[in-house]
Amino acid sequence: MLTSEQSAAPADIRIGHMHIRHSVYYAVIEPAGTHPKPPALLIAAHGYGQSCKGFIRNFAPLADRNYLIVAPQGPNQFYWQETGKVGFTWMTRHGRENSIPDLMDYMAQLMERIEGEYTFDRDRVFSLGFSQGTALAFRFGASGIVAPRGVIACGGDLPPDVAERLDSLTRFPAMIVHGRDDTTMSFAKAEEGVATLRAHGYDTTTHYFDGGHDIGPDQVQEIAAWMERQ
């Protein structure tokens, strides 16, 4: 046991940084039926504490509309204190300078995997995020890994590291989906993101609905209609 004198002594602590191999997971829903053209690809990033398997179910109706839906899962896992269930998250504020490029490397490898296993229209790739996943959707859209046909932000906000680079990016259409009664991510943050995108010349569509922090069937249909107009 350390004495008070020992515990008070300054410690020379060095924090190192290294890369390791790390398993990640993703869920897929393939297009239903036969279609004359290759499917569009929707990359759908879940929110804090969700899982890829649970989240992707929201978009199952799009399979009939010739979409290949892929939901990556956050690489970090934890137990929900209330239920003991396992939840997944993308990152925290700790080590953001490493976490953001790590996540983009994850997305680049995911795209390589999808391209090797599925046929889809490379010119019709959409990036969608819900809640915490919205930041990933914007970062993926801004990464250069793909040239997104559109970015859909649901119940989230525009991350500052993307906002500060908007003028240097190839502009993409954006859709902001947000509940007016959202108490997790304020409606004002959604409006702020819309104003920023439009101020930098991005074609930005809004779908505001009476509800909270959620994506329901009505929102999915609105998103589908918007994607088909792009």
Residues 6+ apart with CB under 8 A from 22: 75
Indicate if the pLDDT at residue 1 is higher than 60.
Answer: no
Residue 76 forms part of a structural domain = yes
Indicate if the pLDDT at residue 83 is higher than 60.
Answer: yes
In terms of Cβ atoms closer than 10 Å to its own Cβ (0-12, 13-18, 19+), residue 169 is middle
Residue by residue, DSSP assigns 138-171 as HHHHHSSSS--SEEEEES----HHHHTTGGGSPP
Return the structure tokens found at 37: 């053209």
Quick one: which of 92, 111, 102 has its CA closest to 21? 102
Q: What is the mean pLDDT of the chain?
A: 94
Cα separation of 222 and 125, whole Å? 17
Indicate if the pLDDT at residue 2 is higher than 60.
Answer: no
Residue 191 forms part of a structural domain = yes
Cα separation of 140 and 45, whole Å? 10
- For residue 86, the model assigns a pLDDT of 93
In DSSP terms, which residues pair with 128 in a beta bridge? 44, 152
CB atoms inside a 10 Å sphere around CB 120: 20
Domain harbouring 188, CATH code: 3.40.50.1820
Cα 33 to the center of its chain, rounded Å: 27
Mean pLDDT of 206-221: 96
Q: How many domains does the structure of the chain reveal? A: 1
Cα separation of 100 and 93, whole Å? 10
Mean pLDDT of 80-93: 92
Helix (H) or strand (E) holding 134: helix 133-142
Residue 120 forms part of a structural domain = yes
Query: pLDDT category, 10, cuts 50, 70, 90?
Result: low
pTM of the model: 0.93
Asked which of 31-35, 117-121, 150-154 is least confident by mean pLDDT, the reply is 31-35
Mean pLDDT of 53-73: 97
Residue 88 forms part of a structural domain = yes
Quick one: which of 122, 124, 128, 121 has its CA closest to 175? 128
- For residue 5, the model assigns a pLDDT of 52
137-146: per-residue pLDDT in tens?
A: 999 999 999 9
Return the structure tokens found at 105: 């490397």
225 is in which domain, residue-wise?
Answer: 22-229
Residue 11 forms part of a structural domain = no
Cα separation of 116 and 133, whole Å? 25
- For residue 11, the model assigns a pLDDT of 77
Residue 89 forms part of a structural domain = yes
Quick one: which of 166, 167, 212, 209 has its CA closest to 186? 212
